[in-house]
């Protein structure tokens, strides 16, 4: 399934994409919840009812007539791994960022989450706005101490993430959280593709364009720590919950590492593509008063 959160005629709901339409899930099956987080928390039985739900003429709307929102607007946690593609590690070293041999994690505050076509604000306090295309993993099962070989069983699905970063604020502290968490700096979407529809999450191409210029282009196979190792590592420290969002790392080509650095400017459009998952596109605008 492709699960969406959407707005139509002032109403926000969740649905699934079927043949160019969105089937409203709580409309088609009133036993289903009306938010993505509640659906994920409701477990496998609710997900099975979502798969079986039929919209008919009453509860299906053409995809062209709705606005897609962040599929998971309020993740329980938003966790992101740094320096997880080999070429990105090499380019980061050129600007003085060196990576320890262990996994490096930081939080993106959930208030940064933005939709697949939402405007990204240029901060009033910085001109060092940058982009990072990443495969997002949505957790679907409460779990702790997950073994690498069992990790796929706790994944609900996948989405496209753009880990927009305010570089000068990011580099002020080792945690990186402030520079990663500015409002609007977490575009996601356009939907959650459930795990059963992705044969191998480590065989996906991901790309990012700025104003049509290709900046990032790599394969998820080139992660240093693969998705299952990431889940095992995180769940050793704390419980992962349904609705947690994990950004699995970005490849080389970020603006800060270019010579000279090429940060985003007002009006720039970022387009993130992951084959088999989807496309999101976000424009940089002034931060409102």
* Residue-wise DSSP of 165-215: EEHHHHTTSTT-HHHH-STT-EEEEEEEEEGGG-S-TTS-EEEEEETTEEE
Helix, strand or coil, per DSSP, at residue 162: strand
Question: Which of 48, 68, 88 is the C-terminal boundary of a domain?
Answer: 68
Residues 134 and 15 reside in one and the same domain: no
Q: Do residues 61 and 8 touch, judged by C-beta distance below 8 A?
A: yes
Residues 126 and 148 reside in one and the same domain: yes
Which of 96-110, 211-225, 250-264 has the weakest average pLDDT?
Answer: 96-110
Residue percentage of the chain with pLDDT more than 70: 98
Residues 46 and 159 reside in one and the same domain: no
Residues 136 and 207 reside in one and the same domain: yes
pTM: 0.96
Residues 44 and 118 reside in one and the same domain: no
Q: Is the per-residue pLDDT at 286 higher than 90? A: yes
Q: Do residues 53 and 28 touch, judged by C-beta distance below 8 A?
A: yes
Domain for residue 73, yes or no? no
Domain for residue 60, yes or no? yes
Residues 26 and 151 reside in one and the same domain: no
Question: Which of 47, 68, 89 is the C-terminal boundary of a domain?
Answer: 68
Domain for residue 177, yes or no? yes
Residues 175 and 263 reside in one and the same domain: yes
Residues 199 and 106 reside in one and the same domain: yes
The average confidence (pLDDT) of the chain is 96
Residues 264 and 146 reside in one and the same domain: yes
Q: Which residues partner with 17 through β-bridges?
A: 22
Q: What confidence tens digit (pLDDT) does each residue in 194-242 have?
A: 999 999 999 999 999 999 999 999 999 999 999 999 999 999 999 999 9
Q: Do residues 15 and 6 touch, judged by C-beta distance below 8 A?
A: yes
Question: Which of 68, 90, 124 is the C-terminal boundary of a domain?
Answer: 68
Residues 143 and 262 reside in one and the same domain: yes
Structural domain span for residue 32? 2-68
pLDDT at 95: 66
Q: Is the per-residue pLDDT at 96 higher than 70? A: no
Q: Is the per-residue pLDDT at 174 higher than 90? A: no
Residue 141 class from Cβ within 10 Å (0-12 exposed, 13-18 middle, 19+ buried)?
A: middle
Please give the tally of structural domains in the chain: 2
Residues 142 and 269 reside in one and the same domain: yes
Residues 26 and 102 reside in one and the same domain: no
Q: What confidence tens digit (pLDDT) does each residue in 49-92 have?
A: 999 999 887 899 999 999 999 999 999 999 999 999 988 777 77
pLDDT at 106: 96
């Amino acid at each position: 399934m492709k699960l969406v959160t959407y707005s139509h005629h002032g109403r926000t709901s969740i649905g699934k994409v079927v043949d160019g339409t969105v089937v409203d899930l709580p409309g088609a099956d009133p036993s289903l919840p009306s938010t993505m987080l509640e659906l994920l928390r409701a477990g496998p039985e609710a997900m099975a009812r979502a798969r079986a739900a039929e919209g008919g003429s009453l509860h299906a709307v053409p995809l062209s007539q709705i606005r897609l929102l962040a599929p998971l607007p309020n993740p329980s946690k938003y966790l992101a791994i740094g320096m997880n593609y080999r070429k990105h590690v090499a380019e980061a070293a050129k600007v003085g960022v060196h990576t320890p041999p262990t996994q490096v994690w930081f939080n993106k505050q959930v208030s940064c989450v933005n939709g697949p076509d939402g405007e990204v604000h240029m901060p009033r306090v910085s001109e060092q706005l940058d982009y990072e295309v990443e495969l997002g993993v949505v957790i679907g099962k409460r779990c702790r101490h997950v073994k690498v070989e069992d990790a796929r069983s706790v994944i609900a699905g996948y989405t496209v993430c753009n880990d927009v970063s305010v570089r000068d604020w990011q580099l002020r502290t080792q945690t990186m959280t402030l520079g990663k968490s500015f409002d609007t700096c977490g575009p996601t979407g356009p939907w959650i593709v459930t795990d059963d529809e992705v044969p191998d999450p480590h065989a996906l191409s991901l790309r990012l364009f700025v104003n049509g210029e290709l900046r990032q282009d790599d394969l998820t196979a080139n992660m240093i720590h693969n998705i299952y190792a990431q889940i095992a590592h995180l769940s050793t420290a704390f419980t992962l919950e349904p609705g947690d969002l994990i950004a699995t790392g970005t490849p080389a080509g970020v603006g800060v590492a270019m010579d000279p650095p090429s940060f985003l400017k007002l009006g720039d459009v970022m387009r993130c593509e992951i084959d088999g998952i989807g496309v999101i596109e976000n424009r940089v605008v002034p931060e409102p008063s």
